[in-house]
Amino acid sequence: MKKKLILLLAVTLMFSLVAIGCNDNGGDGDVYPNGTIEIIVPYSAGGGGDTVARILADALSDELDAQINVINREGAGGELGIAEIAASEADGYTLGVFGYPDNFVLEHTRDTDFTFDDLEYLGAFDDMPMGIFAGPGSDFETIEDIVAYGQENPGSIAIGESGALGLLHVLAFSDHLGIETTPVNYEGGGELMNAILGGHVDLASTSSMSHDPIKDGGGHPIGFAAAERMDMFPDVPTFKELGYDLEMGVSRVLVAPAGLPEEIRDVLTEALDNIGNDPELKERFENAALPYRYLDYNDVNEVLERSNNTLAPVIERNSERFQ
Amino acid sequence: MDSLQIFLGILSPAVLLVIFFGVLIGIIVGAIPGLNGAIGISLLLPITFTMEPQIGLLLLGGIYMGGMYGGSITAILLNVPGDVVAAPAAMEGYPLTRQGRSKEALYYSIFSSMFGGIIGVLILIFFPPPLARFALQFGPAEMFFIALSGLVVIGALGGNIYKSLFAVFFGLFISTIGVDAITASQRFTLGNINLRSGISVVPVVLGLFCLAEMFLNIGKKSSEVVTYKEQDIKRMTVIKDIMRHKMLVIKGSLIGTFVGLLPGVGTTLAVFLSYGEAKRVSKKPEDFENGNVEGIIAAESANNATVGSTMVPLLALGVPGSPTTAIIAGALIIHGIILGPSLFVQRPDVAYTFIFGMLLTVVAMTLIGAFGIKYFAYILKIKMEYIVPTVLVFTLFGAYSLRNNVFDVLIAIILGVLGAVFKKTGVPLAPIIIGVVLGGLIETNLVRSMTIAGARQISLLQYMLTNPLAIGLLALVCVIFYVVIKMRVKTQ
């Protein structure tokens, strides 16, 4: 009998553990925040977007004096998680962190359940440009080498890429250089790194975060699609300096579902301003090799709008690639 | 910091405690169906942010090591592999449990895991740069042949040939579901957003192995399933017997090491390659799937050997080759530690504490495993009416926690029903898993080969067979194929 009781207890305990996992959030009090806030990250744990979300959750939780949980909801290149953020209730208790322009690219290349305007963009925290890298022993030292070879041999430069933005960057890069290249898709950053360091592709299209491991492995950067030279990598030229007006990068944004009540939005943007302008947050980002750039509510909406206008034509021109 | 300080650092109480708890958590999440080392690591990742980097790393490393072993406990005792990599342990260990030899099976599992784990970590300690450079040689063509070899090995697993073929094609079919990464066309997604990212192997395993077994156990009494008349066996007897099979252990560990080095391949392939090889060389291949300890030795040494080797490209090149190592990389990055060759120069304390500490994770795993066995075996005394709901709850919870998505629970349930039907009709389950794991690998690497061959303006064959390594791997596939055919003809 006693044994049965213990077992019964164990089973009950287990069920309650499961129930804790599904606990409801949201408070009933008047003052926001009054309950647990969830931040949905549409990627798996451990990546750049996840790191940003966790640093933010930590800082924001101190600032708002509220419990904040990060939830990884990966799948379909971020589509599942972003759709879930957009579809959740706009009560300030469900927020999201992801890398813009993932949502914009997904929306314009697939039949997604969300649009750009289904989200409210509260702030942006980093600015990580895409870049083009050559592997060890590559004949491509400079961008001129690539242009010269590409004009002579259309389509024969194989460029490895991963993620929606990786492909878009290859296409935009080739457009600007006026050459034809062949994008080769890889599932993740690790596989792409293996391909470029092993010489299986000629070039790689990936973010500035890959700079150090590629350099360590004997490769070198050709250039970054950044507005200006990065503080972290002062030796790497921008494409602009090289004569190609190409700017493309990832910026991690904190979002809420559209329709957030104004008073809640104000609480959040004020808290973001407080932590965003704090040198401590900058330091934490830079420790994690994330180029910090805080954009407040007004700036982020303006910058994203501008960026959408430059991305849209590139996607449009290459629409057959995304079918 | 000199080496003595690093050495003393590893033996500090804090480090030892973290290793012990990491391994214990790993074994627990490994043993629970649906949870595995990777999920355990992502759950505990935030905790490591506040720790010193090397201590946080060893916590995660301990979970990784323990998780690779833990799955075999429930696999052997309940025929419910706690993790994909424990599927062979269920195939060989559970028949032993039914014969009242569960302790013996558990001892084989823990000591084979120990040998595999040590060999993997020693390789991590001694050979990172050359092995990492070797791994870089594997391009799309080589990866294609490796994956193909895994598919060919299915032939060695046994069972009716037509049912096996059906099973592997079913697995390959599951792997085609989703958005094709190359052309972005949707296949069998039925307009459902959740199917676009495809069906991952975890809910498939949970359904086929765990749920199906429980569905079939509903209404049965424990005594109908296993005879609990436990035979005693001495630990030394098992260790000596494993030593007699040292070639199996070495081969399993080397297969695990080799497969672990390759990015994106995964431990499942290593486990089945090693298991198939054990059956090929066995003097009693007909005993396989009826409780042959050789299968346990081969599979369990292979999966723990991958732990060390998957970290080789991570530490030597900064290239995370698996989801688990990607999370470990994330744990380092948040501490501002850049991975790659400079790690050993800039933060030798972190690098060396971590790789030598990994040896201690094997020690902790062995101690917990070897001395915990008599407690693990109590599971068998629990009545079936408690086991079935418990396993069902954990399995469904595990399917959910994979991506925090209810859809994966649905997939697991559907495959659970199918799995019960397959079990009743004698369709083998392992080929389905191998098909799911390898289908995507074969396809993406073939398409990548075609794309690059197109860019180089050469034929696909020319591209795939220029590298001597690729030719060697193709030869290996042919040899395995020949051996499998010969084995089949002999047993007919």
Q: What is the pLDDT of residues B431-460, one digit of tens each?
A: 898 898 888 889 889 999 999 999 988 999
Show Cβ contacts of residue B463 under 8 Å, excluding neighbours closer than 6 positions.
B141, B449, B452, B453, B456
Confidence at A274, pLDDT banded by 50, 70, 90: very high
Q: What domain count does chain B have? A: 1
Chain segment A114-167, per-residue pLDDT in tens:
999 999 999 999 999 999 999 999 999 999 999 999 999 999 999 999 877 888
Q: Are residues A39 and A122 in the same domain?
A: yes
A163 and A299, same domain (yes or no): no
Helices B468-491, B140-153: crossing angle, 10 deg rounding? 10
Chain A, nearest residue to B326 by Cα: A46
Whether residues A287 and B264 touch (CB distance < 8 A) is answered with: no
Largest CA distance in chain A: 84
Q: What is the pLDDT of residue B323?
A: 76
Average pLDDT over residues A90-116: 90
- Average predicted confidence (pLDDT) for chain A: 86
- Residues facing A207 on adjacent strands: A130
pLDDT at A22 over 50: no
Quote the pLDDT of residue B231.
Answer: 74
B109-153 confidence digits (pLDDT tens): 999 999 999 999 999 998 878 888 888 888 899 989 988 988 888
Range of the domain at B26: 3-491
Percentage of chain B beyond pLDDT 90 is 32
In a domain, A322, yes or no: no
Collect all residues with Cβ–Cβ distance below 8 Å to A154 and sequence separation of at least 6: A179, A180
According to DSSP, the β-strands at A182-185 and A158-161 are parallel
What range defines the domain where residue A289 resides? 34-127+249-317
* A154 and A123 together in one domain: no
**pLDDT > 60? residue A323:** no
Position B287 pLDDT exceeds 60: yes
State the Rg of chain B over Cα: 22
* Among chain B residues, CA nearest to A22: B404
The 3-state DSSP class for residue B320 equals: coil
Instruction: Report d(CA A10, CA A13) in Å as an integer.
Output: 5
The pLDDT value given to residue A314? 84
Which residues in chain B are contacts of A191 at CB distance < 8 A?
Answer: 263-264, 321
Which token pair is B290?
A: 């009826």
| pLDDT above 70 coverage of chain A, percent | 90
pLDDT computed for residue A13 by the predictor? 55
- Give B143's contacts in chain A (Cβ within 8 Å): none
For residue A249, the one-letter residue type is G
Nearest by CB to A193, from B319, B334, B454: name it.
B319
Cβ of A14 and B179 within 8 Å?
no
| Rounded distance between C-alpha atoms, residue A96 and residue B356, angstroms | 39
What does chain B come to in residues? Answer: 492
Contacts of A156 in chain B (CB under 8 A): 455-457
Rounded Cα gap, residues B406 and B392, in angstroms: 15
Q: Tell me, what's the pLDDT at A210?
A: 86
Give how far A100 is from chain B: nearest CA, Å.
20
Domain boundary pick from A225, A259, A276: A225
Q: Most B CBs within 10 Å: which of A15, A181, A191, A201, as the mutation test of the B interface?
A: A191
Do residues A58 and A91 lie in contact, with contact meaning Cβ atoms separated by under 8 Å? no
CA distance B194 to chain A (A): 7
Among candidates A54, A190, A323 on the partner chain, residue whose Cβ is nearest the Cβ of B320: A190
Which residue of chain B comes nearest to A7, CA vs CA? B386
| The two three-digit tokens of residue B425, written as one number | 């009709």
| Cα distance between the two ends of chain B | 64
Span B160-193, pLDDT tens digits: 888 989 999 999 999 999 877 666 677 888 877 7
Both A120 and A143 in a single domain? no
pLDDT bin (cut points 50, 70, 90) of residue B316 is confident
**Are A139 and A117 in a shared domain?**
no
Rounded average pLDDT over B220-248: 77
B61 with B357: CB under 8 angstroms?
yes
CATH of the domain at A198: 3.40.190.10
Q: What are the phi and psi torsion angles at B188 (to 5°)? A: 50, 30
Q: Assign A27 a pLDDT band (cuts: 50, 70, 90).
A: very low
Does residue A50 share a domain with residue A104?
Answer: yes
- Distance in angstroms (rounded) separating the CA atoms of residues B112 and B252: 9
Alpha carbons B93 and B229: distance in angstroms, whole number: 16
Residue of B nearest to A322 (CA): B184
| A11: in domain | no
Backbone angles phi, psi at A259, to 5 degrees: 95, 20
Identity at B399, one-letter amino acid code: A
Q: Kindly state whether residue A14 falls inside one of the protein's structural domains.
A: no
> Are A150 and A286 in a shared domain?
no
User: Alpha carbon B55 to chain centroid distance?
Assistant: 25
What total of structural domains would you count in chain A?
A: 2
The average pLDDT across B250-274 equals 89
Yes or no: say if B67 and B29 are a contact pair by the CB < 8 Å rule.
yes
Per-residue confidence (pLDDT) for residue A71, from 0 to 100: 87
How far does the CA of residue B445 sit from the closest CA of chain A (Å)? 9
Based on the fold, state whether residues A221 and A286 are members of the same structural domain.
Answer: no
- For residues A143 and A94, membership in a common domain is answered with no
Highest mean pLDDT among B76-80, B81-85, B301-305, B336-340: B301-305
Inter-chain touch A7–B382, beta carbons under 8 Å: yes
Shortest CA gap A164–chain B (Å): 10
User: What is the arithmetic mean of pLDDT over B17-24?
Assistant: 94
- Are A216 and B317 a contacting pair at CB < 8 A? yes
- A121 and A260 share a domain? yes
Closest CA to B295 of B109, B477, B81, B478: B109
Shared-domain flag, residues A154 and A111 = no
- Give the separation between CA B43 and CA A273, rounded to whole angstroms: 30
Shortest Cα–Cα distance, B251 to chain A (Å): 26
pLDDT band at A23 (very low <50, low <70, confident <90, very high): very low
Residue A3 has pLDDT above 70, yes or no: no
Please state the rounded mean pLDDT for residues B378-407.
83
User: What would the pLDDT profile of B408-427 be if each residue is shown by its tens digit?
Assistant: 999 999 999 999 999 899 89
Closest-CA residue in chain B for A285? Answer: B334
Mean pLDDT of chain B: 86
CA A172 to chain centre: 18
State the first-to-last Cα distance of chain A, in angstroms, to the nearest integer.
64
Residue of B448, B451, B463 to mutate, interface with A, max A Cβ within 10 Å: B448
- Specify the 3-state DSSP secondary structure of A70: strand
Query: Averaged over B294-303, what is the pLDDT?
Result: 94
Residue A54's domain is classified under what CATH number? 3.40.190.150
Find how far residue B414's CA is from the centre of its chain.
Answer: 23
Instruction: Give the mean pLDDT of B58-76.
Output: 93
**Average confidence (pLDDT) over B335-362:** 83
Judged by CB atoms closer than 8 Å, whether chains meet at A77 and B197 is answered as yes
- Among the partner-chain residues A73, A75, A213, the one whose CB lies closest to the CB of B340 is A213
- Cβ contact (<8 Å) for A46 and B138? no
**Is residue B15 scored above 80 in pLDDT?**
yes
Dist CA A288 CA A58 (whole Å)? 15
Q: Which residues fall within 8 angstroms of residue B250, CB to CB, at 6 or more apart?
A: B119
Residue A254 maps to a domain: yes
pLDDT digits (tens, 9 = 90+) for A221-255: 999 999 899 988 999 999 999 999 898 999 999 99
Q: Least CB-CB distance to B451: which of A21, A47, A184?
A: A184
- The pLDDT value recorded for residue B183 is 66
Residues A90 and A153 in one domain: no
The residue ranking higher by pLDDT, B265 or B298, is B298
The angle subtended at Cα A78 by Cα A245 and Cα A314, nearest 5°, is 25
Distance CA A183, CA B227 (A): 59
